[in-house]
Structure formats: C-alpha cells, structure tokens
Structure 1
Amino acid sequence: MSAHPSPEAPAIVFDLDGTLVDSAPDICAVANAVLAGEGAAPLTLAEARGYVGSGADMFVRRMRAARGLPDAEHDRLLAAFLDRYEGAVEHSALYPGVLDALALLTARGHALGVCTNKPIGPTRTVLAHFGLAHRFAAVLGGDSLAVRKPDPAPLLAVFAELGAPGGLYVGDSEVDAETADRAGVPFLLFTEGYRKAPVETLTHAAAFAHFDRLAPLVEARASRSA
C-alpha cells in the first residue's frame, strides 16, 4: 500500500517501542522467562528498558552480559527469546493520547508509517493487538532489511513506500535521533520513552511529553515550510 502525501501534510514515520507503545514490561517478562530456564537472576524493569532500542539480538547480548551467560549460548538464547516474544502483548500499553493523535493525523491527510528495530513478527502482532495496523501504510521491522537503525536505510525505505521523499520521524531514543539525522529528516522527540541521555544532547526539531502535542507540532512545522 502506498500513499502520496502533499507538502501541507508530510508523511510521518514512527518508532514503536518507547514511542507508541510501552512494551518494556512484556519484553522484561520474556527475558525473565528465558533467564529462569538458565537458572539466572531476573532482569529488573529498569534494566529491560535500558536494553531496548537496538533490536532483539542486541537486547539478548546485553541480557547475557548482565547475567554472565556465555557467548556460546547466544544463538540458543536468542531463539528462545524470539519464540516467546512473538505474541508478547499482555503487559504492553499505548502511551496516553496515541490513538487520538494517529486518528487526527490521518484525518488531516498525513501518510503514516512505522520504522522499528523490533522484529517484524512481534511488530505486526502489537499493531494488530492495539487495532493500529490500518493506520500505517508502511511498516518495517528490525529484520526487514539487512541493516537496522541507526542505519538510515530502513527509515528511508519506509518513506519511499509511503511515496514520500521524506517527512518527519517520531521516536524516543538516541538510536532514533541518530537515524533521523543520518536520513536528513526532522526528528520529533517523545520524551517519555526509553531515552537514556538528556533531551538537550539529542538532535531534534522539537520535543513533546504527551501525544496531544504531536499534531500541533506537525501543523506548526508544515506552516513554516509552506
């Protein structure tokens, strides 16, 4: 499915975990199920949040390192993690205002997409679970291409599928900020996700703490560009 946004309604691409969805509780639960099978201590929710953002492979590497599990077990533990991760939605929640913001942006003619490092299977499961799949004309996961964020290729591929040369990227993390910068698109920073660094250290065009502020920010930028 493709779309052709107008300059007055630029395409908008979103990160998923930590941006639209607080999924860390489910990711933590999946990790702890795997760790329990190894006789290892569970992760705290804070640890799990800190490991999110660079894809499942890196999450498991960080999890292993934190619990002293050997490198030789990586592939087996990653497979066990992914097997449980596919349907992990029980403890996830949309951030406040997400549904209304997406509906408003759609009504105003913005083509919407998702670019995440979450594997595409769990990505589609989460979008379907929250009734969001129909909002997005293009969705790429961390295993959709040979590279993942902060390489700009996945983000640029989503814009291309939306029929747009560029637009706006909305995310919550250092990885998202670097991705947008390398892709040459303005970055809107959601400050309530899984960011580790101070807001002022991340390159961004604007920041917001609640999704009721997103549409006004987008409209303001479109007005300046008109």
Structure 2
Amino acid sequence: MCYDAVLFDNDGILTRPTLLEVQREAVRRAFEEFGIAPTTETVDGVLHGSLTQLRHICDVHDVPCEVFWEHHEAHAAETQRTCLENGSKPLYDDIGVLDYLDQPLAIVSNNQHATIEYILDVFGLEGHFEVAYGRDPTIDGARVKKPNPHYIERALAELGVERALYVGDSNVDIVAANRAGIDVAFIRRPHRDGYELAADPTYEFDSLDELTAVC
C-alpha cells in the first residue's frame, strides 16, 4: 500500500530507549527542588502511574502538581540530553532507511518536546522530518500523550494527509494509531522480545529496513 506520509515514534524506534535509572534521576531531581527525598516506589509512581496517581503523590508531599511536573519535564530533558551527548542513547543502525522513503516524514513521541528537538539537532536529522512533536512540558501535555491520538492528529493535519503509517514499538502506539484512523507498523526490537500485543498492528517487523516493502 502506498502511504502519503510516515510517522515515527522515537524511543525504541529511532533512538534506543532512555534507561530507567536516567528517568528516575529526573524525578528525584525534581523532588529535590522541593526539599524531598522520594522513595523508589514514589519515583516509579510518577513515571508509570496515571495523572490521578501523580496528583495524589504531589498532595501527599504538599507539592503543587503542575509546578512539580514542569520541573520534572525540564530535568528529564536535561538528563536525556546528557545521554545523547555521552553516547548512551544512540540512534539505531537501521536509521538509514529514512534515506529511502519518499513520503513526508514526522516524529510523534511521548518524550519531552525539548528532547525530540535536541535529537534532531545532535544527530543532524532536521532535514528528514517535516514535523516533529514531543509532549508539551505541562500536565495538559501529559494528558494528551499516546494512547491519546492528539499529537498524531496534529501531525497529520500539519502534513495535510490522511493516509499515513505510524511506526512504533508499544501498545500505546498501536492504540493511538488506531484511534487516529491510520495504519501502524510494530517494530519488535530486542527489548520487545516476548512483549504481548493488546491489538493487532497492520504490520509487524523486526527492523525499520522492512518499511521499504510497504512504503
């Protein structure tokens, strides 16, 4: 099938996933600004819990949720920038497939927008992508991250296309693409070995190189 555009997730697709300990460090730094030393359970609750859980955690520690989250997003972008600079968050080897795709390309990621912008800059990828969205560094931005199709739909509107393919490595990617009404390719990277899918993707590949067969 011919697509009018191809949209990519970032972490686990273009760059290797950010290490969990790096993500935890960003949460700890945010709490430290309020004089709090959080437990690992609290840190993981911020990272993996719902917005309701985040608000509960902030209430327990008497921290303004919206302010805390903006501090967290800033520290998350800063710690990941360090990872990009020291080589611990590299591009995947099959990133070269971008040179063989003729359609307009976009990035739609749940990562912080500042991180996505820095990835484009540090790896010189600006020329490949017409649109790039990470989440806004606010509670509202977190509320509409995938599996909400909000950012995918914004990218589609900006590109002026409807028939597009989204490329991701998680169930939230599949659900978000389905909700946006577009096809989705699931890339089963080594870190997704044994990962169970909650819904069937349009395609399942082992590498980005296989995109050329459908694009």
Matching of residues 76-155 of structure 1 within 5 Å: 77-87=68-78, 88-89=80-81, 90=83, 91-98=88-95, 100-105=96-101, 109-143=102-136, 147-155=144-152
Contact (CA 8 Å) 1:34, 1:77: kept in 2 or not?
no
Task: Give, in whole Å, the separation in 2 of the partners of 1:82 and 1:164.
Answer: 31
Deviations 1:89-126 (A, max 9, x none): 3221212211x111111xxx211011112222221112
Percent of paired sites with the same residue: 24
State the one-letter code of the partner of 1:83: A
| TM superposition shift of 1:83 | 2.3
Task: Give, in whole Å, the separation in 2 of the partners of 1:131 and 1:94.
Answer: 11
Return 5+ residue gaps in structure 1 as ranges.
Answer: 1-6, 220-226
Contact (CA 8 Å) 1:191, 1:209: kept in 2 or not?
yes
Task: Give, in whole Å, the separation in 1 of the partners of 2:209 and 2:18.
Answer: 22
Return 5+ residue gaps in structure 2 as ranges.
Answer: none
Matching of residues 1-150 of structure 1 within 5 Å: 8-25=2-19, 28-32=21-25, 34-35=27-28, 37=32, 38-40=36-38, 51=47, 61=54, 70=60, 72-73=62-63, 74-75=65-66, 77-87=68-78, 88-89=80-81, 90=83, 91-98=88-95, 100-105=96-101, 109-143=102-136, 147-150=144-147
Partner of 1:167: 164
Contact (CA 8 Å) 1:96, 1:211: kept in 2 or not?
no
Task: Give, in whole Å, the separation in 1 of the partners of 2:169 and 2:203.
Answer: 12
Which range is displaced more, 169-178 or 151-160? 151-160
Deviations 1:165-208 (A, max 9, x none): 22100011111111111111111001127769844433201111
Contact (CA 8 Å) 2:104, 2:130: kept in 1 or not?
yes
Question: What TM-score do the two structures reach when normalised by structure 2?
Answer: 0.73
RMSD: 3.5
Which range is displaced more, 159-168 or 79-88? 79-88
Partner of 2:211: 214
Question: What TM-score do the two structures reach when normalised by structure 1?
Answer: 0.70
| TM superposition shift of 1:16 | 1.2
Task: Give, in whole Å, the separation in 1 of the partners of 2:94 and 2:18.
Answer: 19
Q: Does the residue aligned with 2:13 lie in a helix, a strand or coil?
A: coil
| TM superposition shift of 1:157 | 1.8
Task: Give, in whole Å, the separation in 2 of the partners of 1:23 and 1:35.
Answer: 19
User: Matched residue pairs, number?
Assistant: 195
Partner of 2:186: 189
Q: Does the residue aligned with 2:124 lie in a helix, a strand or coil?
A: coil
Q: Does the residue aligned with 1:18 lie in a helix, a strand or coil?
A: coil
